[in-house]
Amino acid sequence: MIERALTKGTTNEQAADGIAIPGRKLPIGSKGHLASGWLGMLTLIATEATLFAYLLFSYFYLASHALGAWPPSGAPHLRIAVPGTLILIAGSVVMWWGELGIKRGKPGQLMIGLAAALVLGIAFLAMQGIEWSGEPFKLHTNVYSSLYFTITGFHMLHVIIGLLMLAVLLLWTAFGYFSADRHSAASIGVMYWHFVTIVWLAVFFTFYITPRLG
């Protein structure tokens, strides 16, 4: 590289005892997937996904050792969970669309996407809250209820963190921080939101589908 640099081209800047090289221009700072934060979020998702894997492992382990019916009060109702799932999926779609917007230099589209996902996320939380209060068991009733509230609770916590992220991103978009070139934080937030949706699909499948598989 040094040798190539020395034999080629013109100089355009000089340092005190430097050899100036035209070379390839490199982007500076957080640009797209070159941002360290992007990789950092990937590792965070890996570890949080593993947390849910262990939670669901606990569910299946305890289910396989259960005496008597499982779930003890029958399979949980789908009437809130299915719409909630659809809402969360819609939130991801809307976020994907919003990110598409900023990639094309349209911060307005990003803002709409963020705001819509925020509203959908809050709706999801509200529905979860209603489902929780309607359950025939409490946290301390038995091991199933312990699992139910803990696992859906962990997911809700991740949703809340996601909503905080969306709110802050909305603020930053409004301040004009993002452009087609520079929007790493938005991409990172969107990726986290997709993760939250995918985890919910796994949780939903475990609690609501597997008991019905006979």
Rule CB under 8 A: choose which of 7, 25, 133, 212 binds other proteins. Answer: 25
Segment near other proteins (CB under 8 A); pick from 59-67, 74-82, 120-128, 190-198? 59-67
Non-local (6+) Cβ contacts of 141 within 8 A are: none
Q: Is 67 exposed, middle or buried (0-12, 13-18, 19+ CB in 10 A)?
A: exposed
Nearer residue to other proteins within complex by CB, 67 or 213: 67
Residue tagged 């221009």 (tokens): 25
28 touching other proteins, by CB under 8 A: yes
Residue 42: how many CB atoms within 10 A of its CB? 13
Q: Which is nearer to other proteins, 26 or 213 (CB)?
A: 26
Task: Determine, following the binding rule CB under 8 A, whether residue 8 of this chain makes contact with other proteins.
Answer: no
**CA–CA distances in Å: residue 89 to residues 5, 80, 112, 194, 195:** 51, 14, 16, 9, 11
- Binding residues for other proteins, rule: CB under 8 A, are 1-2, 5, 13, 15-31, 34-36, 39-40, 43-44, 46-48, 50-51, 53-55, 57-58, 61-62, 65-67, 72, 139-140, 142-144, 146-147, 150, 164, 168, 172, 176-179, 181-182, 184-185
